[in-house]
Each structure stands twice: as C-alpha cells, then as structure tokens.
A and B are shown apart, each in its own frame.
Chain A
Amino acid sequence: MSNKLNTKDLINIGIFTAIYFAVFYVTGMIGYIPICEVLVPLLLPLVTGIPFMLFLTKIDKFGMVTIMGIIVSLILFATGHSWLVMAVGIPCAVIADLILKSGEYKSWRKIIVGFCIFSEWIMGAMLPMWIMRDAYFDRIRAGYGDEYTDTLMSLMSGWMIAVMALMVVVGGIAGAYIGRSTLKRHFERAGIA
C-alpha cells in the first residue's frame, strides 16, 4: 500500500474532521456558562477521543492528523479566533502526526501521546485570554497601584496556563482510553473499525 493519501483517504479525513469539529464545538458551548469555562480543556479531549481513535484505524498514512489539525485551526481562525490558534495548532498536529507515524498508528503509548499533543491546540485558542490579561494588568496598575494589582495577579497567575495544558493531557489520556474501549466494544464488533 503506497504511502500517498488517495481519494478515499482524503474523503475520510474530511469526514472525521467534520465529526471532530462538530463534537468539540457542541462540547465547547459549555464554556459559555461562566464557571464551566475552566473545564473546557479537560472536556474537549475527553469527548473527542472516541472519533479520533476511530479515525486512526481508518488510515495509516502520514498527513492524516496534520491535515486535520490544519483544517481545524484554519476554520477556528475563520470563525474569529486569533491567528495564535494556527500558530499553536498546526505545529502540534505535525508533531503528533510524526509521533503517531513512528508507531505505525498502532502503538498504544504513542497514540496516547500523539492525541494529547494534538489536543493542545486548545491552548492556542485560550492564549489570547492571557495576552489580554497582561494588557489589562498594565492598565489597572496605572490606575490602582502595585499592591492591588499584585494581589489580583497572584489570583490569576501564569501557572494557570500550565494547569490548563495539563488538563488537556489528563483529558487526552482519559479520552484515548474511552475511545479505545468504545472501539473494542462497538466499532470492531460492528465491522467498521
């Protein structure tokens, strides 16, 4: 089997990107409820694990995950996220693809790692919050002085980004296991995996 993506592969990439997008978009709506926003980095990889694991069984060629990542980032940009989502999402997708490829898209360890890295595009979508936050702090420092500002900053400190990135990883691991379990119990037995 050649390593070039043929028409059927490209169509499959399109289909699974559509599902991936639909699933995370609906799940992401939870982020509009004020407090739940922090759950998004955990939830998104969790639910997208199922379609992603099925996707990996359909094609075994390099480019499948990269293209998905490019398209997802592109569409997110077109809906109003900053270009940061592409700057983070696309490299993540490429690295994920390389890792997955090195395991022939079958090594379970590499699948988990690859999926987590791929899912980190979410950080690209959330980064603007932090950039905005810095500008905000500059401004209120001017208005309120250092003490007030420092207190506030400690509440929303930079390590929040690290926490969120970690939540993506946790969600990703869980999502991968859920995906694999669903694969075994349903898709393989139905003959479509």
Chain B
Amino acid sequence: MVVFENVSFTYKNGEQKNGIYDINLSIGKGEVVVLCGESGCGKTTITRLINGLIPNYYEGSLSGQVLLGGRVVHTMPIYETAKIVGSVFQNPRSQFFNVDTTSEIAFGCENMGLPEKEIEKRIKDTIIDFKIETLMDRNIFHLSGGEKQKVACASVYADMPDIFVLDEPSSNLDAASIEELRRIIGIWKSRGKTIIIAEHRLYYLRELADQLIYLKDGRIENEFSAERIKNITAQSLSEMGLRALKLEELKGRERSFVEKVECLHLYDFFFSYKNGYQAMAIEQLQIPKNTVIAVVGENGAGKSTFARCLCGLEKRCNGVLENSGTIYKRRKRLKSCYMVMQDVNHQLFAESVLDEVLLGMDKKDVGKAENILESLDLLQLKNLHPMSLSGGQKQRVAIAGAIASKREIIVFDEPTSGLDLLHMKEVSVNIDRLCQMGKTVFIISHDLELIFECCTQVLYFKKGNAEGPYPLDVKEERKLISFFEINNYETMQGVN
C-alpha cells in the first residue's frame, strides 16, 4: 500500500528538523506501523511525505519516490492525496477549522464536494462507529483535550481515506484518553485501514502494532515485527532512547525519605466557576517543604485549577498558604510562586535570553543572571531571542527565570508532553537541581516515567478533592502505576 523507494529529503531552510536518508519501506494494506526514535530522527518527516505536506507545504529537496497504492505522491496535488490519506496531528488546538463539532466532521467531505445526502450519511455512520453522540453539535473550544482528539479522529474517518497517518497523537492526552485513542485505532484496523503512527509513547500501541520501525539520524536502524516487539527489554529501549513499552515494569530510583520535615500548610482552597460548578474543594493540605510533588489525576479533576489557585492567579479563590508562621494570601502568593506553563511561549516576553532572566529580578544583576544561564547551559545563547530557541531550550529559559525570581514554590504544568527519553531526563535533572536549591516543586504530569525519575511525593486529584501527599515509596509506586493503567494491557486480546 505504502512504498518508499530510496527516499531522501532535506528541508529547505534546514531550520526545522534534520532530513531523512535512503529510506526504503514497504507497508502492506491493513498494517499498523509505528515509527519511533529520538527527537529529530525523521519520523515526522516520513509522515509528511505520506500525506503530501512534503512537498506541498514544506519545501526542500526530495529524491526517490513515495507510492501510495501505486501512485506517486509528489506528483499529486495535495487535495488528491487528501482523499486517500487522513492525518491526525499532535496538538488538537490547531487541527480544527470549525467552531462546532458537526461542521468539523463534515469539513473534509464538503471540501471534496460530495453531495449533501452522502455527507449526512457519513456523519451518521461515523457517530455510530465512534459512539460520539454526546459530542455532536458542541462548541469545540469547550471540549477536553481527549474529546478534541476524538473528534479529530472521527472527522478524518468521515473522509473515508484508506491510509491514516498520525503524528504523536497522544502527546497532550491523559491516560483515559490514550485508552480511547487506542480503541479508535483498533476500530480503524478492524476496518482494514493502513495506519502509520509516529510516536514517543509506545505502551498503548504494543498490542496493535504489526511493525515497529526505529529511526536514528534520519535512517532506519531497526525493524521489529509484532512478535519481536513483545520481547524488547527495558534496557534496549533505554539504549534506543525510547519510552517504556510496559508501564508495569517501571521502577523509581532509590529514594530516602526524611521523617519529620517542615510543611507548607494550605487552608480553604475552594474554587467554583461562574456557572456554579465547583472545580476544587480542599479544606487542608500539608505539603512537605523542599520536595518534588507529583500532581496526578484525570483531566478535569482539578489539577490545573489547583496550580492556578496556588499561584494566586484566580481571584475567586481565597485560600491561605502558611509557611513557617508567615501567612500568604492570594496577592502574596502571586509573588512567591512561579509557574512554568504548559505552553512556555506564553511566558517569554523579552528580546534576549539575558533580558528574560533579568525581567524576573527585582534588582537587575547581570552577573548573577549570567551565572544562572551558565548553570543551565544557556550562556552561549544569551543574546538570542527566546522565541528562536528549541522547545527544550525555552523551557530552560523559563526555569532560569524561576531561579532568578528567588521564589520558593515552583509549579510545572505538563513539562514533558511530547518529549523523548533524553529530553525528559534533562527536565528531570533540572527539577532535581531546583529541589537542591531548597525549592518546593509541584509537577502536574501524565508522564509516569518523569514522575518516577524525579518525584518524591504524590498528590492525587479526584473530582476536585486532593488525596495525599504520599511519599513515593515502592508501595506507592505500584499504586501509582495502577492509577495510570485504565485497562490491564496484558489481558488485552486483539482489538475492538
């Protein structure tokens, strides 16, 4: 179905990613193929060659050819390719052309000029197949991340392509939504569709994949058939720079727990939305100081609300933080908590990295700022514009800002979504460093591997209520793993 013949490609500006070289692939009809590798290995580039974005959107030099069912992709106009290939991307927020869900499902068909009756039929069929009646006719902006991704998948399905291409579709999803995604891919597979997925998170695809292709520096290094996939050891995964295949095999590192430790006391953290819905109700919390606390829970359980209220960003929350006898009400908390946001782009304002760090200081001290940059391996970038850096570098700039602000409490909101093993470990190292500086660090995360790397406490959020925090010892680790696993993958038999 999909054939790559000696394909090489390099991007025109060289700005984005590295190219791919001498790719030869053959994917049969109905197969599910997973492309994996470190960041920059070329897996996204391959997906773009399949759905026609290369060369129609991304320019560069291409040699060799990509064939879809015998037709050469780069000679087809992209609206023709769109009829055979459906694409689902990483970030739900930039996939939707419409504001309401029903229109979005009809969108691709409308573009193809299909007759109205046909489109209506497809919409009906899609709703039934995906069980999404409750999501119809709704404002997309009011949906959760998982729901958005579900609608995106359904919309592409309604176009009835033969081939599906997904680029890191699970990046921004929580455990429950990933399970839904897995189910949807299973449905597609059972309908005989050919599916190619570029991914970091491998565990949810373990049972579905027919082939696992490992890429390194733009070349195919290794190919695993379905049988061999089951036998890959955690060690070789780590060597390849890949994320875990089996969550239940994860182990945290050795930790020592200090018995009596000073605590931060939180009182009366309540928050309700304007329509009355109560998103968070915490009477009391004792948080051990100078620890790294994982904040876990399903989407909508109140984790982000907690983070915003803690940092003093929500006017309607009148909770109180007490630290060694000092009371911190909302305004004071605004000055004593620092948040590294999920989208770091929202918190970078200055013209240069150095200015960015200075921005956070009450008394501008260039020498000190440069020291901070040095410790984060950013000094050589000090005159560059923050927005010109890579994602990981930007995050480090934000962390530099946190250190410069001298604030004691630091909150990270999903710092590792979409990151490969290497970069996730880098983040973990930096978080460790913050802890060593005496800070108390909260990490909101769905990334179990990150939590095991650097967290020492776990705080569970369920429907606005907080449980814990519990020290992350071996027993707690088991509990955490089962909290994350909605279904036991070992007993998964086939799909659908």
**Residues of A near any B CB (own CB < 8 A):** 8, 185-186, 189-192
**Residues of B near any A CB (own CB < 8 A):** 15, 57, 351, 384-388
- How many A-B pairs with Cβ below 8 Å? 18
Main DSSP-derived SS at the B contact region: loop
The answer for the CA separation of A105 and B449 in the assembled complex, in Å, is 50
Contact A191 B15 (CB under 8 A): yes
Contact A191 B57 (CB under 8 A): no
Q: Report A-chain residues with C-beta under 8 Å of the C-beta of B57.
A: 8
B384, B386, B387: the one within 8 Å of A192 (CB):
B387
Task: Output the least CB separation between B199 and chain A (Å).
Answer: 27
Sorted from nearest, which 10 A-B pairs have the closest CB atoms?
A190-B387, A189-B385, A190-B385, A190-B388, A185-B351, A191-B388, A189-B388, A186-B351, A186-B385, A191-B15
The answer for the CA separation of A191 and B15 in the assembled complex, in Å, is 10
Task: Output the least CB separation between B389 and chain A (Å).
Answer: 9
Measured CB to CB, the nearest residue on chain A to B384 is A189
A-B contact pairs, 13 of them (CB 8 A): A185-B351, A186-B351, A186-B385, A189-B351, A189-B384, A189-B385, A189-B387, A189-B388, A190-B385, A190-B386, A190-B387, A191-B15, A191-B388
Task: Output the least CB separation between A161 and chain B (Å).
Answer: 39
Measured CB to CB, the nearest residue on chain B to A190 is B387
Known: A189-B385, A191-B15. 16 other contacts (CB 8 A): A8-B57, A185-B351, A186-B351, A186-B385, A186-B387, A189-B351, A189-B384, A189-B387, A189-B388, A190-B385, A190-B386, A190-B387, A190-B388, A191-B387, A191-B388, A192-B387
Q: Which of B15, B57, B385, B386 counts the most A-chain CB atoms under 10 A from its CB?
A: B385
Q: Report B-chain residues with C-beta under 8 Å of the C-beta of A190.
A: 385-388
Q: Report A-chain residues with C-beta under 8 Å of the C-beta of B386.
A: 190
Q: Report A-chain residues with C-beta under 8 Å of the C-beta of B384.
A: 189
Measured CB to CB, the nearest residue on chain A to B97 is A11
Q: Report B-chain residues with C-beta under 8 Å of the C-beta of A191.
A: 15, 387-388
The answer for the CA separation of A186 and B388 in the assembled complex, in Å, is 9
The answer for the CA separation of A186 and B355 in the assembled complex, in Å, is 13
Measured CB to CB, the nearest residue on chain A to B352 is A189
Measured CB to CB, the nearest residue on chain B to A185 is B351
The answer for the CA separation of A191 and B390 in the assembled complex, in Å, is 12
Task: Output the least CB separation between B482 and chain A (Å).
Answer: 44
Task: Output the least CB separation between B133 and chain A (Å).
Answer: 31
